[in-house]
Amino acid sequence: MDYSAIQKLENLLLVSVPRDLVDDDVIRMRRDILQAVRKYNSQIVLLDFSQVDICDSFFGRFIYSTAQMTKLMGAKIILSGLQDAVIETMVELGMALPDVDAVLDLDSALALSRAQAVQGSLVEGAASGPPEA
Amino acid sequence: MMNQVPIREDAHAVVAAQWGRRLAVQLGFSLVEQTAISTAILEIARNIAKYAGHGQITLHTLADGACVGIEVIAADSGPGIADIALALQDGYTTGKGLGLGLPGARRLMDSFEIVSQPGAGTTITMRKWRTSTDHRDKPGGL
């Protein structure tokens, strides 16, 4: 069974979701993600679905529960790399995932996280800087 | 052509879905149709592993004139479904899922039939027909 790789990439935590997901993997993977979020103080967890060609409601539950858990640590889940046929099937299936954002690919994810990092430092700068006259 | 996959645990459901995709590829279903069929199989096969504990998925090839299709029969001898109409409602679940399994699988297929009685197991028969031969994925095509 291939196991997902979790890597830190700039401000992102990059999780390669394995092609096939079974019960035991999900629990282990979620725990590994939470540990890594804490370790790297990640703000964005990118779930890379580019290897996944079937996404049933079991995957949906994995995405949803992981999003809720990381949210309690201040990190946001973003999906990336969903294939067209998978997207079509997910929506037919009724998997709306209203609270979960997505980007097209890793390039878009990096652009988003860099933009957020810049915005974050601006806000921090404004808060700690001297009040404007 | 016939294939049967015994389902006793979650990992077997993944195997059944892969067999379904392979058959759909052989029969010339489009990529979206292959994905729909294998996803529907995965949904109901995971249900067998979760609720019945033991059962099997059988795949048949259908041929009706120029029409080609796949029939999936999922049979188990588990606790059965007391209220089929309720089980087919979106969002209804007795387990920990999203409650999309049965209604979702039904939407992905062309026909979907459940025979079940409490204590006597469940048999689901679902079919999907290939839309057309020129619906295959062509490189560079839309």
The interface pTM score, or ipTM, of the predicted complex is 0.83
The structural domain count of chain A equals: 1
Is any Cβ of chain B less than 8 angstroms from the Cβ of A86?
A: yes
Inside any domain, residue A133: no
Range of the domain at B26: 2-132
Inside any domain, residue A1: no
Inside any domain, residue B121: yes
Inside any domain, residue B137: no
Whether the full predicted model's pTM is greater than 0.80, yes or no, is: yes
Say which of B11, B36, B98 has its CB closest to residue A89: B36
Range of the domain at A84: 6-128
The structural domain count of chain B equals: 1
Best mutation target, A93, A99, A100, to test chain B (most B CBs within 10 A): A93
Inside any domain, residue A110: yes
Inside any domain, residue A13: yes
- C-alpha pair distances (Å), A74 with each of A13, A28, A32, A60, A68: 13, 20, 16, 21, 10
- C-alpha pair distances (Å), B72 with each of A110, B33, B36, B61, B109: 42, 14, 12, 9, 10
- Return the closest-CA partner of residue A92 out of A64, A57, A53, A65: A57
> Which tokens hold the place of A115?
């933009």
**pLDDT (tens digit, 0 to 9) for every residue of chain A, 133 residues total?**
445 589 999 889 999 999 988 888 888 999 999 999 999 999 999 999 999 999 999 999 999 999 999 999 999 999 999 999 999 999 999 887 887 999 999 999 999 989 888 887 777 666 555 555 4
